[in-house]
Structure 1
Amino acid sequence: VWDLQAAWQAEQWEQRCGELAAYKAEHGHCNVPKRYPANPALGLWVGTQRALNNKDTLDPERKRRLDELGMVWDLQAATNAEQWEQRCGELAAYEAEHGDCNVPNDYAPNPALGEWVSRQRALNNK
Structure 2
Amino acid sequence: MHKDKLDTLGFCFGHYEALWHEQYAKLIAFQAEPGHCRVPSNYKDSALSKWVNTQRLLLDGWEEQHAKLVAYKEEHGHCKVPGSYKDRSLADWVRRQRKKYNGVKGKGEIKESRVKLLNDIGFTWRAHGHEIVPWEDRLQQLIEYKQEHRNMLVPRSYDPNPPLGHWVQSMRQQYKNGKLS
Q: TM-score scaled by structure 2?
A: 0.36
Question: Partner residue of 1:59?
Answer: 111
Give me the whole-angstrom Cα distance separating, in 2, the residues matched to 1:26 and 1:43. 15
Question: Partner residue of 2:89?
Answer: 41
| Cα pair 1:49 1:58 within 8 Å, conserved | yes
Give me the whole-angstrom Cα distance separating, in 1, the residues matched to 2:77 and 2:64. 19
- CA displacement at 1:9 relative to structure 2: 4.9
| Cα pair 2:60 2:89 within 8 Å, conserved | no
- CA displacement at 1:77 relative to structure 2: 2.5
- CA displacement at 1:34 relative to structure 2: 1.5
| Mapping for residues 1-40 of structure 1, pairs under 5 Å | 9=58, 12-37=61-86, 39-40=87-88
Deviations 1:9-59 (A, max 9, x none): 59710000000000000000000011211x110000000000000010011
Instruction: Flag the structure with higher helix content.
Output: 1
Which consecutive residues of structure 2, in runs of 5 or more, have no partner in the other structure? 1-53, 132-181
Q: Which has the higher contact order (CA 8 A, sep 6+)?
A: 1
| Cα pair 1:35 1:44 within 8 Å, conserved | no
Which consecutive residues of structure 1, in runs of 5 or more, have no partner in the other structure? 80-126
SS in 2 for 1:75: coil
Percent identity reads: 33
